[in-house]
Structure 1
């Protein structure tokens, strides 16, 4: 490509113009110097995005009296799309358009486009290399602008953070508001700073900076309030004197500035979540009008520090005012524009409330339930003895008369034989004494014979009770003696508990808050945990008046009989029952518990 032969600016004035990167005509100075290095250039254009907003604008055209050629603009747009250098030949074969992008920190910030004449491709590449060389000055300006923007943003962030810390450090809202206006006056070099809050759609002045030497006469306060209200109504910052691009209503600000002898004013509204709750007014001499950068700093302070101050103000309000404000805000969101989701939700809730307030439904009381046998028979040990036989256990079914368990009777039979012999001996002696007319001996032998007979009858009865049999067709509810064969059992020990196989009753445990709605004869349905797909109907037969405590809850036992016997029912099955009471409005059914709780709560505190 050859050696780049670009030279430094040929005059001190031109060099100073390039070094002064903040000069408003810097781009034309640079472009003029660039074109002086390329005599074959016909026209040149520079577009740049100095505001870093993504919008590129024309900043310089050479020659100065020339216009923006459409071919240059098309080549610039193509370079912005492709983000790479571009060379386009024209139809005459002598002229070309060269376009070069300029990057800063990897982001496209400017494009330089020239129309020049070149004899061959080598000369074109030399021209493009020269543009790249000279573009270093353009990169320098853009980099300095970027650094200055970053520095201003960092400074603004430090001011905001320090101000938030100072405001949070105050013990109450009044001191925090005074500290806020003083900090705003120091950071923006304002003689007077006024803080006001919106109350009932009207702004009221709350605090002024203590550095203000202005009087608080009524006319001045009135004009200040009107100027701040002007910014609140528009929800936009207002500057006076106005900037070129400042398109706001400023009538109240002009009146306030004239009243005080032509002052510079700036009012920034306090906005949080689309709601304007106040405003801040800055006042200083007209010789120092507020700039765009000061406006950005003021808006940053009010947006962040103002929210903190508003939180302190809300926390200092009495409870009734806080509740009223919250209700008012919610109503404004519901009745005002926007917030379609809230409105749809409220409309649906109203429709549901109306529907449930007019629609009747079945009032059922739910309760935990368990199936019990209609009778529970205990099989107990008739006398002390040793267990000889027991093959059944809990869960087995048996028919009436079927053997449950049997005790060892060998010892009883031996005793029975002994008493039989004694009875025979006593009877024989009784007959002999009777034959000899020995009246005393007759009575003794007769008594011994009667005693022996009593013992024999007792032993025979015990032997007959040794085999314990089922008194009816039953299901063994509890008892397992298979591991106790041969062990000693005592009289009265429970060996088995039996329940009828086909005779059940349902035990339900109703909460104490609902027991007054239960009556005998009411019907209901039962769903068992083991059979969730089936429902069993029942009738309430008995209500136990004594309360019980089960798992920390006070309940009453309610008994019921099944309407139809079902082979699937078994003693011990648990589930959930619903007792039908009557038909009521759905809203009264679902709010019954809440209403009862509120009645008790009110009675507890107010009687």
Structure 2
């Protein structure tokens, strides 16, 4: 539709420019003065049409003008006025016709060079005149120069008139196009304002009938391979079995099958070429015209993305001209998509679903849509692979290394820390000192009790010499009490140096900030873990705990050793749960295969974290991929429907 519109506008502009140029050239040459006996003998106008330069005007009619065409072509190439000697008795005058519709500075400045002018505003054409000199005054004499300058100035002024006329015609065409566009937009807005297809179609045919002064405007829409009338102007109801309705539908099918507008009576040959009507079949339209007895009938197919959606038939007593056909084709190009969308939107929901399924099926089995076909093939291949192939199902769980045994080193008595020998993370050996307690008070207390024992020994000898057995028994009891207190002090002194109970690593107990501080008896100072006998705590998601059993194997990857996979085996399922990220997780204990670890066991530390995978068994890959989705659907179904 747009191509036909542009072609028709170009032909119309070309015709207007041709007629205007011929009238101007005749007027200019016939009214030309004859100063000093110099007169205009011939004239030609060269005009641009579709990137070609063609002669559009010649004066007089019997003139040849071949030499003037060469001069006009040189003028339009140079983009400036030219004066040339054609022969002894003839002078050629030429001047370009600029396109002043481009309101640029370069177009109006006559002092600008020809190249700059062509770049700024462009040229519409060129005018060339043959000036006949008097026989008694050769051109070599300077007496003719003022006469030639006067003719050149008049030509320049005349070309300005020609440019003005071309500009006025251009503005008139723009105004007509704007007026038509405003009418189109107004009608389109009325169609868009309606919510349903039926009412939108009624708005279209009624407004067209009024604006075109048509007897009847009929809108038909495609159903399968035939067209059915849906709206008739000024008629709320109509009988589909009427011969006139059937004839109109046949005319619509005739236009849709040819993908071209059909008009009777046909326009002249030139307009047919512009509209593409050179070989259009119009038998059904002739039958409709003979049945109705009207003067003219026009059917325009409603095409949307090159697909026929319907057609509109216009019947009226006056002939339909070329401009009206172009305007109607442009209008229907705008309205067809709107009407089709409203028709699709008016369908019932089941019909929409069925149609959508059909459209998708057409993309799959029909031509084109390579991306959809490839996506479907990949989806089918993925489903087939997931259904037939099997893989190892596994459960991923956060893991933490823990030691099987930890020894707490507590303060042996209430006192002060005198010296710190190790820090957390240090390896220790059995019997290695860890820290020293301040034992000066214990040493003094030991001397006190030693002196007490010496005193009791002297009293015991004195009472034995006196034979006082009762006093001897009392002194013996006091001596035993002093010996017990001394043994207690000796024991505390022996424990004043904290010794490692076995080879291991210090897990906790940073006392560097408590040096010289007091500690209570039994207060935890260090926590020591052996290097051997590490276990793994796995936090298994609640949804997968039923898949875990004692004896299952798996692998562990630690954050500090991502390149190594450590083998593990499930040992115990505990009832302990932990909450993390809004979900509950069960703690499962596993052991590491120390024989398979080799030298790696030396770099393992309690507290290391990573991710463990527990192998469940062989299952279909589709079941593995969709397990979480299926579980969520089951819970949702139970929650809502029970």
Contact 2:550–2:573 (CA<8 Å) still a contact in 1?
Answer: no
1:104 alignment partner, one of 100, 105, 116 = 100
Q: Quick check: 1:402 aligned with 2:421?
A: no
- Tell me the CA shift for residue 352 of structure 1: 6.2
What is the correspondence of 1:529-548 to structure 2 with a 5 Å cutoff? 529-532=559-562, 534-542=563-571, 544-546=573-575, 547-548=577-578
Q: Deviations over 1:434-460 (max 9, x none)?
A: 999988777766665555454444444
Change (3 A) 1:379 1:310: farther
- Tell me the CA shift for residue 424 of structure 1: 6.3
- Tell me the equivalent position of 2:158: 134
- Tell me the equivalent position of 1:153: 177
Contact 2:252–2:313 (CA<8 Å) still a contact in 1?
Answer: no
Change (3 A) 1:448 1:596: same
2:592 alignment partner, one of 561, 565, 588 = 561
- SS at structure 2 position matched to 1:216: coil
Change (3 A) 1:82 1:343: farther
Distance 2:552 2:584 in 1: 22
Moved more, 303-312 or 475-484: 303-312
- Tell me the CA shift for residue 538 of structure 1: 1.5
- SS at structure 2 position matched to 1:480: coil
Unaligned runs of 5+ residues in structure 2 are 1-14, 33-38, 103-120, 134-138
- Tell me the CA shift for residue 513 of structure 1: 4.2
Contact 2:437–2:497 (CA<8 Å) still a contact in 1?
Answer: yes
Distance 1:81 1:521 in 2: 96
Q: Quick check: 1:32 aligned with 2:26?
A: yes
Matched length: 579
Distance 1:442 1:512 in 2: 75
Q: Quick check: 1:471 aligned with 2:501?
A: yes
2:290 alignment partner, one of 258, 262, 267 = 258
What is the correspondence of 1:87-102 to structure 2 with a 5 Å cutoff? 98=94, 100-102=96-98
- SS at structure 1 position matched to 2:99: strand
2:314 alignment partner, one of 279, 283, 290 = 283
Change (3 A) 1:427 1:135: same
- SS at structure 1 position matched to 2:356: helix
Q: Quick check: 1:47 aligned with 2:76?
A: no
- SS at structure 2 position matched to 1:535: strand
Q: TM-score, normalised by structure 1?
A: 0.76
Change (3 A) 1:111 1:363: farther
Contact 1:45–1:62 (CA<8 Å) still a contact in 2?
Answer: no
1:116 alignment partner, one of 126, 130, 150 = 130
- Tell me the equivalent position of 1:551: 581
- SS at structure 2 position matched to 1:104: coil
What is the correspondence of 1:126-205 to structure 2 with a 5 Å cutoff? 130-170=154-194, 175-200=199-224, 202-205=226-229
Distance 1:85 1:241 in 2: 49
- Tell me the CA shift for residue 98 of structure 1: 4.6
Change (3 A) 1:252 1:214: farther
Q: Quick check: 1:323 aligned with 2:337?
A: no
Change (3 A) 1:366 1:257: farther
What is the correspondence of 1:192-341 to structure 2 with a 5 Å cutoff? 192-200=216-224, 202-209=226-233, 211-212=234-235, 215-219=238-242, 220-243=244-267, 244-245=271-272, 246=275, 247=277, 248-262=280-294, 264-276=296-308, 278-289=309-320, 291-340=321-370
Distance 1:450 1:183 in 2: 129
- Tell me the CA shift for residue 483 of structure 1: 1.1
- SS at structure 2 position matched to 1:218: coil
Unaligned runs of 5+ residues in structure 1 are 1-20
Moved more, 483-492 or 222-231: 222-231
Moved more, 339-348 or 397-406: 339-348
Change (3 A) 1:434 1:250: farther
Distance 1:362 1:524 in 2: 11
Q: Deviations over 1:405-458 (max 9, x none)?
A: 333233344444445555666777788889999887777666655554544444
- Tell me the equivalent position of 1:495: 525
Q: Deviations over 1:285-335 (max 9, x none)?
A: 13142x444344444444445544544444444444333333433444455
Q: Deviations over 1:250-305 (max 9, x none)?
A: 444443333332264444444444444x335253413142x444344444444445
Moved more, 576-585 or 380-389: 576-585
Contact 1:543–1:557 (CA<8 Å) still a contact in 2?
Answer: no
Distance 2:31 2:542 in 1: 101
Contact 2:17–2:166 (CA<8 Å) still a contact in 1?
Answer: no
Distance 1:525 1:76 in 2: 92
Distance 2:634 2:559 in 1: 35
Distance 1:444 1:91 in 2: 167
2:510 alignment partner, one of 480, 483, 500 = 480
Contact 2:574–2:586 (CA<8 Å) still a contact in 1?
Answer: yes
Distance 2:489 2:253 in 1: 114
- SS at structure 1 position matched to 2:318: coil
Q: Deviations over 1:30-54 (max 9, x none)?
A: 23234436755546243344xxx76
- Tell me the CA shift for residue 482 of structure 1: 0.9
- SS at structure 1 position matched to 2:513: coil
